[in-house]
Structure 1
């Protein structure tokens, strides 16, 4: 199916976009150098998860129609036959990369082919574009765009609350959207094509976490909308502890504050709280609301006391009941994230704590409308932990975080940041919940109810464990690839990655999830390998604490790793920087990130470190891929070279290179002194971007006129009868950001991806495969590791 994307402005007709415009003369010149190459197929190197899944949405009418949204990696639709998720927003390009942040989704219960996504990644100027509502009439295969006159925060605090976007089940042409920062409540009456503010909605919210911090200064605004399908009422939750809930009983014409809501919802343990989520039980006439100390997803409990409640509103009488669980193993409940009701079994509901960091999150379950609750785990005497279910992380072995159970703290957790919690409305046995790293699920949920209590009392009144036959909860994230990837190294048969939040991976099979690299990294930032001794791999990453080394070393092709010694003067809590290794593997080079410490090198695989002479702090180092004594470095427009194995560096005297906006330069395999440098430029300082190459070790450089900007450059196996490796780049040609390849040393370039495969922002690092011609690996900011292969003819 050919994708056609349409743009609908507020109150205006749709305008076609994404069609090929008539190029300007400059664009035509660029396009002449960038023709279509071989047809490509694109896949992920499998990680399964790796980022925050703040929403899981089941369609109430069609069985097995399920959507999941992520904070920076787009949204997905469940495929029941393969039990995998299909990405739906890979068509989002770099010009509107913020559309990959999905703040809310809605699936139409009347016409189940219709689905909607409220998008926009940041409400601050990091995202240059306003938000939008995307609308689809074919379950997300193709989308239209309704632009909004304000920003939305798919990756901002509060992104797990909601859902902010909903379809009116009584009139599916009508949708409501809750917005942040004083923009109030919005409504569409034409299936999401056009939007207007509900001008008579009285309260845009006022809750701000921290006005002094731009990332925390959002007015959280209008948080969620819920429908009483029996009583015909519309409820709206607002981030205002003193006025948190509104209702309309005339189809949204007028709105009133719900009596008693401020008293019921507005405080917990003396703390101001806001209504984070809701769930409706139409059979019994109950609206359930969970509150939390702040919008999340990171913060835990306040300094003292509980941080949240579960409240029940009887929609027919207006009576409020506090049904907060009376017990927590820790004594306090930090706040609540997700809540869900079982539509097949009225009176059954579940809720999750938010950021009960130690030892684990708690899932609560009630089968009597919240009168009593059972816990997913509990303590007995001696602090032994007893669980209702086993956690099976086979689908994502890295979810153990290379740890082991330590008393009540299990290596494989229920999760954290559990805002997405959903019982299948068609199957009481199926539940899924999202965490900061994955999706968990089971099809055995009702076995919980046959287990009874986890903990009882013996004759002496002591708390003791009761026998429980556990069921299994397993990974349900297959197909969801949400990692932000920072660097790649392709050895041939082995792909090494540096990955945000989860360290990094060594893939020997691209279709199989692997354990994470066993180092101290919280986020991997850079990887490299010795050209002539490819069993030696080095990497670096951010670490927490000042006692840990940033650099990791493997001498067995990534099977095992050893942490190198820490460098005096480099603090923890970040500072991963970049790493390189000489062609013969004899010397490792590390440039600490965000530090005043100059680069260092090691001659003993990281046991000791020696300061490099001649380089400023922050200079990025690369090794020549042929001559082990040759090393190169770049910083602030100056190019440096070492001829003594990296002990000392000197300015090559090169001119014409950009002074800012250079993220990548690389040495060419099998070609001594051949270098390529990619520059994205810097609009603030007027520095021009592009691509440069040198054939003399960085003394002279030639700018490749084809490129307006370039993010990265890498090399792979040469084409048949070609003398030069295939060159790959993520770059801008003729105004089009895409993935390009040259097979003739850089004279001609061909675009590899198409408009259906753009992944919002891709290619901050890129490399070809040294053994497979045409295969290219590229990083993304939220869609994991993408690789492409030429389609067999």
Structure 2
């Protein structure tokens, strides 16, 4: 039944937002601004996708949510994803963390997103429910009186936000931290707590750890469309499942639920996800000892099960697969049913770290299961499908297959797991790095067994005809990029979790920089010889050095020598190379290790004299012997290639909150410094410039705060390089450009394009006037060009 009227609710306030504003309107105040077009440097994936939602009534209407990078809508014609939350600005950056997505099965143009990145004080704002009447092209905001955790433990459970298919004006929202179950009766515009719901949950991962101390709360809501029942999963092993048989007026614990799904091998477990078979009358529930997404098998044994509840009789059945190649199942992550073929369901492990995740499939309502891969002792692994990673060639992590552990895996942290309700051959699943999918899924059922027995009763691999699973993340750009270097025709990036990339074609995904970085933190190049590039990043263990060096414009890399005393885990810091490549200075991100320098491209290192540990370092872009550094309000200069630094004696710079400083290409001794300051310490931010190597500084009055600064091709042949900054001017956080040496500034982004946070690094292109590259915290590497 389609509901057109609604009852007023009290609680969360609805905020109407005039989104989006056109680029011309957004830039109306600018002196000479033209509209910009914005795109991503293509990586395809790069972050965790905890949810994929197919609309149940409209084919090809699919949404994907990410933990820090917003949500996306599938575009069937191009087989790409369209970002839907780029309008989120810096003041509400937490809205880029999407806890749950709900697609209306009645009025399919309606879609909803529960947002908020952290339930702890890292995010200063409360959460919200976003509502859209045009499939996410524009949104309204219903603010909530509590926080939500799109990047908190448990973010792959759910879905926590759902539309009632029997009354699509009614939505339910499960919340963490004792806030209980919430309901809207007016298409998500206003919300109120369901006071009749008795259990807000009590499961906490680790009460001694701030990040892990969340009460996981109310996890998911599901609908039995045969009997009209509403089921709610709760993070309480002693009382994990509730049902309402009167449209949500009253709620009761489901008999037998605690005994069935509340404990596995002595471990208290919670119901992570559910799926309903509305033909056969079953509710399936997967359990885990941990909300995910990082859990592994507990030391005492298996960590999860699959249970089936007959919704008409109340009978419980344990339908957990009886076999795992590893011997234990470390808890389940994803669960999905095939609505075209009742009785067919699939589940994924989370996390089966070695050698790979396992996908399970049943065609008889969980009575028997087949596996995506298996192996017999002494033989190679046998797989049902091949993984085609050509859409994201970096997914090998520059590794090689090692027996049953492949370089390209099913993934990890698989919690988004969905068979297309309109097409039994299509499935998509999200991982900690990408989305995988196939349109050949039912070939699985014709392959038979993977492993048999020989005449001696030994397990042996059988021959099967494999199908292909490929990358389905095109358009999902979820990396957290940290630094950029534009060489002209080549863009080098340092990227969180996936190291970094060298792009010679911004429209093509590239392999990962082969340095072993777990996270790239800083990149630089020799201004007078841009073929020589250096970078640094966090590494695991103590085998490789943190600094990488390329002498062929990023085509190949080698690791510089390790520096004794620098721990292997983390500590990438910043790196700078002189204009002529005669010296490298590396400052690890470690308060106990002072910076070092090398005059042989990282073969050997010597301690820098005169700099404190953790100081940021940059090179002058003209003078080959000069480098700069900043730490704690003191500005330093080296005139001997980084061997020694001395205090320039500069005053008036912020003593904390200096985010970035860069030297100007083509202008010896010119430096710009960006700082957000520190409001808690009453330290003002802003923008400063120096023309004498950092001895004296002038504050640029327009800036409230600034977080990054960079330079690109001048607007005129003999002009000053274009200056770009992610900053706040007149109270508006945006991307700004100056073409006259910093006298005038214009905003060049608009209210459609803000990307939540884009402050870590920014640079212009040295060959293309107006082109700017900027980092984001979850929307990848963005670049903009002046529109025609």
Q: TM-score, normalised by structure 2?
A: 0.97
Verify: 1:44 aligned to 2:45, yes or no: no
Q: State the shift of 1:659 in Å.
A: 0.3
Comparing 105-114 with 34-43, greater Cα deviation is found at 34-43
Q: State the shift of 1:531 in Å.
A: 0.3
Contact conserved, 1:10 with 1:148, CA < 8 A, in 2?
A: no
| Corresponding position of 2:262 | 266
Q: Residues of 2 paired with 1:258 and 1:206: CA distance?
A: 17
Q: State the shift of 1:643 in Å.
A: 1.2
| Corresponding position of 2:504 | 508
Which runs of structure 2 are paired with 1:10-21 in the superposition (5 Å)? 11=11, 14-17=14-17
| Corresponding position of 1:367 | 363
Q: Residues of 2 paired with 1:189 and 1:509: CA distance?
A: 49
Which runs of structure 2 are paired with 1:290-309 in the superposition (5 Å)? 290-309=286-305
SS at match of 1:85: strand
Contact conserved, 2:17 with 2:140, CA < 8 A, in 1?
A: no
Comparing 32-41 with 50-59, greater Cα deviation is found at 32-41
| Corresponding position of 1:701 | 697
| Corresponding position of 1:447 | 443
Among 644, 655, 679, the residue aligned to 2:675: 679
**C-alpha distance after superposition, 1:704-746 (max 9, x if no partner):** 0000000000000000255200000000001100000000000
Q: Residues of 1 paired with 2:454 and 2:559: CA distance?
A: 48
Structure 1 residues 20 and 247, CA, compared in 2 at 3 Å: closer, same or farther?
Answer: closer
Among 310, 314, 331, the residue aligned to 1:335: 331
SS at match of 1:403: coil
Among 449, 454, 471, the residue aligned to 2:467: 471
Structure 1 residues 91 and 761, CA, compared in 2 at 3 Å: closer, same or farther?
Answer: same
Q: Residues of 2 paired with 1:478 and 1:767: CA distance?
A: 25
Q: State the shift of 1:520 in Å.
A: 1.6
Query: Where does the alignment leave 5 or more consecutive residues of structure 2 unmatched?
Result: 1-7, 22-26
Q: State the shift of 1:259 in Å.
A: 0.2
Verify: 1:610 aligned to 2:610, yes or no: no
| Corresponding position of 1:5 | none
Which runs of structure 2 are paired with 1:313-712 in the superposition (5 Å)? 313-712=309-708
Q: Residues of 2 paired with 1:557 and 1:90: CA distance?
A: 32
Q: Residues of 2 paired with 1:356 and 1:32: CA distance?
A: 54
Among 768, 777, 781, the residue aligned to 2:777: 781
SS at match of 1:76: strand
Verify: 1:126 aligned to 2:142, yes or no: no
Comparing 545-554 with 406-415, greater Cα deviation is found at 545-554
Q: Residues of 2 paired with 1:381 and 1:764: CA distance?
A: 49
Q: Residues of 1 paired with 2:69 and 2:198: CA distance?
A: 34
Q: Residues of 2 paired with 1:552 and 1:102: CA distance?
A: 35
SS at match of 1:632: strand
Structure 1 residues 20 and 403, CA, compared in 2 at 3 Å: closer, same or farther?
Answer: closer
Q: Residues of 2 paired with 1:365 and 1:644: CA distance?
A: 65
Q: Residues of 2 paired with 1:288 and 1:16: CA distance?
A: 38
**C-alpha distance after superposition, 1:209-252 (max 9, x if no partner):** 00110100000000000000111000000000010000000000
Structure 1 residues 712 and 383, CA, compared in 2 at 3 Å: closer, same or farther?
Answer: same
CA RMSD in angstroms comes to 1.4
Q: State the shift of 1:380 in Å.
A: 1.4
Q: Residues of 2 paired with 1:764 and 1:621: CA distance?
A: 15
Structure 1 residues 690 and 18, CA, compared in 2 at 3 Å: closer, same or farther?
Answer: farther
Verify: 1:766 aligned to 2:762, yes or no: yes
Structure 1 residue runs of 4 or more that deviate by more than 6 Å after TM superposition: none
Contact conserved, 2:9 with 2:192, CA < 8 A, in 1?
A: no
Q: State the shift of 1:190 in Å.
A: 0.3
Q: State the shift of 1:595 in Å.
A: 3.3
Verify: 1:233 aligned to 2:229, yes or no: yes
Contact conserved, 2:19 with 2:752, CA < 8 A, in 1?
A: no
Among 241, 244, 249, the residue aligned to 2:245: 249
| Corresponding position of 1:177 | 173
Structure 1 residues 624 and 10, CA, compared in 2 at 3 Å: closer, same or farther?
Answer: farther
Q: State the shift of 1:458 in Å.
A: 1.1
**C-alpha distance after superposition, 1:526-558 (max 9, x if no partner):** 000000111100000001112221000000000
Among 185, 190, 207, the residue aligned to 1:189: 185
Q: State the shift of 1:16 in Å.
A: 4.1
Contact conserved, 2:13 with 2:143, CA < 8 A, in 1?
A: no
